[in-house]
Structures are given as C-alpha cells and as structure tokens.
Chain A
Amino acid sequence: MGPAPAPAGSSRAALRDPVLAPVVLLLWAAVALFVLYPVGRLLALTFWDDGPTLAAVRELVGSWQHRRALWNSLVLAALVGAAGTALGFAFALLAVRANLPRWVGTVLDTIVLLPLISPPFTAAIALIFALGPRGLVSYHVFGISGLNIYGLGGTLLSETLTYFPIAYLTLKGVLANIDPNLEDGGFSLGARRWRVFRTITVPLAAPGIANSFLLLTAASLADFATPLILGGTKFPVLPTQAFLQITGLYDMRGGAALSFLLLVPALAVFVAQRWWTERRSVVTVTGKVGAATRVKSLSPGAVAALVLLCALTVLLVLTFYLLIVFASMVRALGADNSFSTAHYAHVFSGGLKAIRDTLVIAAICMPVGGLFAVVLGFVVARTRFPGRRALEFAAMINYALPGTIVGIAYLVAFNDPPLALTGTAFILVICYVFRYSLAGTRATTALLAQVDPSLEEASASLGARRDVTFRRVILPLIRPALLAGMTVLFIRAMTAISATIFLVSLSWSLVTVRILEGITNLELGQASAFSVLVILLVYAAVILSSLVMRRLNAGSLGQAGTLLGG
C-alpha cells in the first residue's frame, strides 16, 4: 500500500483549480469585509486619532464607573461559570450516574433545552414576575417586601438558570464516557464512595469541568440582555455600559473603547477554551470499555440530595415559563389577574411587522448561512490552499466575540457611505450569517471526517469538476450538517439581540427588540406574549428539524443542542 490519499492534492494544485481558487477568494473577501474590516475599524477608532493614541483607553480606565463595569463583568462571569458548572454537574451526575429510569433523562433533556432556545430576556422577566418588588412568589406567597433582585444577585441567578444547560450537556457527555469499571477498580481497592468520587470520578471529569466553566464564563461575559434588565445602575457591566455609551451618549469612541475592554477577557477565555478542548481528553485514553457494570458511585443519600436539587431547579425553570405564559394571558400580572387576549391582539397587530421582519430575515439567513457554513467547512476540511488555517480562524472571530462588540464594530464600519448598511435587512442577515454559521461548519467537518476522500477523487476521475463534485456527491452526504446549521441559524435569528440591537431600524425591526421595548416601557404582558410566540416558533422549528434529521438518518438534535452554546 502506498501513502494514504492526501486531501485533494497539494496547495499548488489547489491554486490551479479553476473552481476552488475563486471560491477561496470569495470566502476570504467575505470574511475580510464582514469580520476583519469591522473589527479593524473598531480597533482603529479606539487606538487612532490622527495618530496612535491611548487616550480613549486611558479615559476609560480613569473612570470609576467603567473600572467597576470591568470588575463586575469579570466577577459575574466567574461566578456564573462556577455556579452554572456546579448545577450542570449535579444534573449530569443525576442523568448518568444515578441509575434512574430512562424517562427521567428524557424529561431532563426536554426541560433543559428550554433556556437554550428562549429569547434572551425570558429568565430576567420571569425573575421580576416571581421575585420582583411585587413578585408573585416573594410578595404574594411569602409576603416579603423590599426584596431586591436588581444587582449582582438577580443577574447571577438569572444567568445561571439560563446557561447551566450548556454545562449539563457538556458534562453529561464527559461523565458518560468515564468507564464505571474504573470506579469499580477504586472500590475493589477498598475505597469508599466519597473517596472514589473524589479521587477517580472528579479528576477524570476535570477537563470537562474546566471546559464547561470556560464556556459559561464566555456566555456570561457576552450576555447583554440579562444585566440590561436586572443589573440596574448599581451593577454596570461592560456590554450594557458600551450599549448605553452609544445609544444614550452617542459616544462611538467611548463605546468602541469599552468594547475593546470586553474583547480582551472574552478572547482570552475563548482561546483558553479552545486550548482545553483540543488537548486530548484523559477519558479517551483508557481505551477499551470493559464489561458492563452497574454504576454504584452514588450513595442513596447523595442521589436523594441530587434529586432534590434538580427537582427544585426544574420546578423553578418551569415556574418561570408558566409565569411568562400566564403573564401573556392576563391584563397585568400581579395587579389585575383577569384573563385577557389584549397582549396577543397587540402582538398580531402592532407587533406583526416585527414578527414578519424576523421571519423574513431568518428565512434568508438559513439558506445563505447554511451554504456558507458547509462550503467553508468543506473547503477548510478537504482542500489545501495557502492561508487555510488563517481563514478558519478569521471566520470564527465574530462567533468568539461578544455580540455587543460585533454590533458596535458593525455600527462603526457600516454606518456611513460608501457602506451605509445599518438598518437594512442585508446587514442583519450578514451579521447572523457570520456570527452563527460556526455550528454548521463544525457539523460539516465532523461529517466529512467520516467521508473517505476517495469519493471526491472518484468523481473527479469520472470527469466532474470540483463544483460538480460538491453539488452531486458532497452536498447530499452532508445534508444533516446543513440542516443542523440552518436550524441553529433560525433559532439565533429568532432569539439574538446583543449584536443586532445596534443594527435595527424603523424599516427592519426584530421580535427581540420589541420584547426589550416592552420591558423598558413596563409593558411586561406584551413582552411575555412576544416571548411565548418566539419560544413556540423555535420549539416547532426544533421538532421539525429533528423529524427531518431522523429521516436523514443522522444523529439527534441533542448534538445540535450542544452547538447552541454561546
């Protein structure tokens, strides 16, 4: 046997390819224009004022308010990372280490998916309903008044409940991969349960725990919606400060500088997370899975405690969602609890335009972004051209950056001629495509890893150019990746706000923006009705997508679900 077939020849050959070369150029041009250029403009605005300057950054660091925003952001992110990972770990332990009946796992998965696909303000509004000054739970049930949910506590609780599912999905996979026979080995050496857990289970899960912590930290750093509602003036964080600097004070340079301040920790966390996941997991090194053995690492007492904790969490999450549904159907939750369809009437009259706009944009995003994702995934995985790794990295930047930074960068870059694109549907689509295609790209590379390169060579040997090969051979084989990518794009287009809030206009608005307006105008019933609608639409899309996926005979959306994080 000769050497293994290299993916489609050398880089020299790639440059001669009459189809590949233009495609690569096109991808580079798109990434340069919609990723590198805006970030470059943002940095230029921060560090260039008729010459290099640190004035904007110095001014920031000099401001007490901004220093606090930076500190708050970091503290909040670390706390959310820790609390969310702990909660996710408890759920994961219960799901794979407690020998519970199968349906418990299914129920957990279904409920846990809720916060992942909800519009950004859901948990925050629900928290106000439940525990706010006139909260249903705090005031009406327990008679507590003066409970303050605004500030670090409320924001932390809301973000933890929103993001712990990411930790759960990550850690469930990690724990499921730890061979129970290893724990049996510990027992056979005389260790008791707690010792086995401490010396075997946790160390083996450590890479997953670190990964989950970093994912949640990144999500919290980037979160704009929750602190906007619950942070208040006493608890400023960087994304909200940057937003207010621009929309309130019309200070683009200040907003850009704040973005830069946020960019540094966000990028650091992203790089750290990539580094963790690219290291080979300890778990896989154990090799062959031994004989099936019943997991016995949790004592009945521990299981009971976990059940209690998880049941309470699930109850809280369910209460939140029921509250939202309830609030959308009564006149004014807490004050006048009589049934009313007024909020939905508003949604389907005055709110209709935002719904239509959002759906139109989502409908354009799906094919455009889906195709971009699979073409990029294919080109990166299967061809060799100079700068391939650089393109792969550059295409990831908008995903890695908090939405607020991307939004401000787009605002800086595309607000003036010749590229006055803000406020158009075009820029909204572009923003989603370059921010949320990564899921599709990753699914594509994962699928292509199972497709032998000889299929492409066979096609070429039969006279097919590379574009024909892509259309007739590759595309049919990676349909599941295309579907997963398009589903994620749809969900994101329905629920995202942090970047696009800077780009909407009177002619193109979004449902999420209407939700925010409802909250700021204290029309929480309307906001709830919009939220319920978005959740229903997204759930419908997820179910439809998993039905189609089942027909395509490929993995479940549980896998796509893990791609939703961030």
Chain B
Amino acid sequence: MSASGARLQLVSVSKRFVSAEQGVAAVDDVSLTVEPGELLTLLGPSGCGKTTTLRIVAGFEQPDSGRVLIDERDVTGLMVYRRSIGFVFQNYALFPHLTVFENVAYGLRVKRLGAGAIRERVARVLALVGLPGYERRFPNQLSGGEQQRVAVARAVVVEPRLLLFDEPLSNLDAKLRVQMRDELSRLQRQLAVTTIYVTHDQEEAMAISDRIAVMHAGRVAQVGTAHDLYRAPRSVFVAQFIGRVNLLSARVVRASAGGAVVALWGREVTVPADGPAAPGQTVSLVLRPESVGLRAEGTAAPAPDVAIAGVVRSRTFLGEKVEYAVEVAGTSLQAVSYDPLRHGLFDVGARVQVLCAPASLRVLRS
C-alpha cells in the first residue's frame, strides 16, 4: 500500500464566516506548502482557524479568496469527492449502520472495485492498523481506540494523495493518546503520504510532526520544526504557546555576529538573535524555565553564566521535577529543576542565586 505523496500548497487563503456556536471564525491570508510525504501539524488554540484551514484543504469549506494546489493543480473549486483525500474526524464519524468491514470498504465500493480486490485491501489495511478479525463488528461494539483505528483504516485504504487529521486523539484518554500518536506516526511514515494534522496539544504536535505551523487568530504565526519553534520563536505568542517561557527585558548595547550584545543583570552578554538589533533598543529575551539554574546564596557562579540574587516565592514538587517561582529584581521568574533528589530543594523564602547561560537565551524580535 504505497500511496504516492502529493505536494500541497495553500496560496493566500482567506475565509471569514459567522457561525452560531463560535461567533466569527476566520482564516486570514494563510500560505503554506506541505512537501510530498511530509507530516505538517497545524497547532493553535481554540478558534485560531486551524480546523477551518484543514476543512478548506479537504473541500468541506470554500475559501473567500486564495487557492489550494495539489501537485501544482488548482483544486480550489473541486468538490470534496474528487480530491482524493483521506479525512480522519475528531469523533471518527464511523457509519453506525455498517460493520467495520463495510466502513473500511465504503470508499472502495464507491470506486466500484471488484469484491475480491475489496476483500483483499480491507484485510490488508485492517492488519496494518492492528485490527484483523474485527470485520463483522459494528462501531458501537468497539472501544474508542479501536474506533480510531477503523477511522484511520477507512481513510488510508483508498490510497489518498492527502491524509487529513482533525484532532484525532482528543477523545482518547491520556495513556492511549500517547500510544495512538506513535502508531499514527509509524503508519504515516510507512505510507509516506502527505499529511496535515490538526491539534491544540503542543506535545502531540512536537512528537508527531516533521514541521509545525503555529496558528494564531487566523494567521500562521510561524512554521518550523519542533526544535526551531522551541529554540527560536519569532513572536511572544509562539514563545508562550510552545512550552513555558520567561521573557526578560534587556537593552541592546551593540550588534555582534549572529546575535546582539545586551545588558542583563549588570553584565554585558552576547545572545543569539535572528536578525540585526539596533543599539539602545529594548528587546525581550526568551529564557526557558529549565534553563534557569538555582544555587544557594553565596556560591560562585560558573564563568560564562550571568547571575542575580533572588528569593523563592513558591515551590511545586512534581516528583521528576520541582517548579519554582523566584522573585528577581521585582519580577517573577519560572524555574524548573530536574532530579530534585540529587539537587536538593529550596524552601519558600530562601535566598538563592539565579543563573543562566547566555547561549540558552534568545533575542525575540518585536
């Protein structure tokens, strides 16, 4: 079952509409390219336009403007049933009156394949999703995870050129979600089918995606690999949406190769940046909580690190890690310390030295 991956392009796609349930929803000038065989995730909070974008790709919605291209062919006006897509719905949308076999065979019957070919392909795809022997069951006799697999089987059995997932795991419990996530990822790589995956769960997105497009208020805020987005967010929104973040305010002293020299906590340090920063400008520095080091007051800081005195204001013990809120120069910093059994705990009210390595900072373009 080798589905040939198609190349998908969205060119300046916009859509505005008013729906009774959600108020005004919109997709605003979205342009994206998904390479053949790639898995791209649309990630964003509720109402950011990610599902609408997916539905425009599927053909369930028509954009007000812009174009959808599959392998350079304009399919914007093409009806859903001519697009050769596989769509996996949040609620699975299995046909309740049909057995597992007939659900999976549905697309093949519509294509008028012979009975033998249908039997063979359904058997093959059910084996692929780990459900051999389930042919005669009805959807209401299946668990959530099993229904999910049938939905995936039904979508891939027709060998679609695009596979589209709309929050497929959100109805499963946490443990099953992780397991299904890995299975979907394996299956997608095996089939090498171009895939768009919509989710609001950043961990899921980071685990499964080749690239992630973070969406905000109908627009694409940033596209990149999970590492890019985490390490080099280009906006406050992306920095805050992917993981947790401290934003430190600092003044640029001068530009330097690949970054900027800024004044932080009474020292001048060189910090990586995407573009040039003008001297005298105030910028935000991204500092992830796990990059914040805490030490007992009075110990000497390692040479490259910047240090400042702080007071622990709260402590949350979570077993594998401890989360602190530390007050530093009038503001609150989040800090995470892993392996607390080894590093010890600081009490609330303790005076500490707060450290960070300049290499772990990043200038956020404003």
Contacts and interface: CB of A to CB of B under 8 A. Distances in A.
B55 to A, nearest CB: 7
Contact of A458 (B25, B47, B87): B87
A464 interface: yes
Contacts of A190: none
Nearest to B160: A461
Interface in B53-70: 53-55, 58-62
Contacts, number: 113
B138 interface: no
Contact of B61 (A10, A458, A464, A476): A10
Interface residues of B, number: 51
Contacts of B94: 458
Nearest to A461: B87
A1 B43 CA distance: 10
Contacts of B5: none
B96 A462 contact: no
Nearest to B200: A1
B207 to A, nearest CB: 20
B156 to A, nearest CB: 11
Given A472-B106, A476-B97, A3 B62 contact: no
A497 to B, nearest CB: 39
Interface stretch (B75-83, B256-264, B290-298, B342-350): B75-83
A218 B85 CA distance: 52
A9 interface: yes
A461 B85 contact: yes
A468 interface: yes
A450 to B, nearest CB: 10
Interface of A: 1-6, 8-10, 12-13, 16-18, 452, 454-455, 457-465, 468, 472-473, 476-477
B79 A1 contact: no
B111 interface: yes
Contacts of A8: 60
List of 8 A-B pairs having minimum Cβ-Cβ separation, nearest first: A2-B51, A462-B107, A3-B25, A454-B93, A461-B87, A458-B93, A460-B80, A3-B22
A17 B59 CA distance: 12
Nearest to A10: B62
A461 B95 CA distance: 13
Contact of A463 (B55, B89, B111, B164): B111
B50 interface: yes
Given A4-B21, A9-B61, A458 B51 contact: no
Contacts of A460: 59-60, 79-81
Interface of B: 17, 19, 21-22, 25, 46-55, 58-62, 77, 79-87, 89-91, 93-97, 106-107, 110-111, 154-155, 158, 164, 166-167, 170, 198, 200
Nearest to A476: B97
A463 B164 CA distance: 14
Interface centre among A18, A459, A463, A464 (most CB of B within 10 A): A463
A452 B110 contact: no
Nearest to B20: A4
Nearest to B15: A10
A58 B59 CA distance: 59
A3 B19 contact: yes
A472 to B, nearest CB: 7
B19 A6 contact: yes
Contact of A2 (B54, B77, B86, B170): B54
A5 B60 contact: yes
Given A2-B198, A457-B87, A477-B97, A462 B51 contact: no
Nearest to A477: B97
A462 B154 contact: yes
Given A452-B93, A454-B93, A461-B58, A2 B47 contact: yes
B89 A6 contact: no
Nearest to A451: B96
A350 to B, nearest CB: 48
Given A4-B22, A9-B62, A477-B97, A465 B89 contact: no
B52 A2 contact: yes
A463 B95 contact: no
Contacts of B47: 1-3
B96 A463 contact: no
A454 B89 contact: yes
A455 B92 CA distance: 9
A455 B79 contact: no
Contacts of A461: 58, 80-81, 83, 85-87, 155, 164
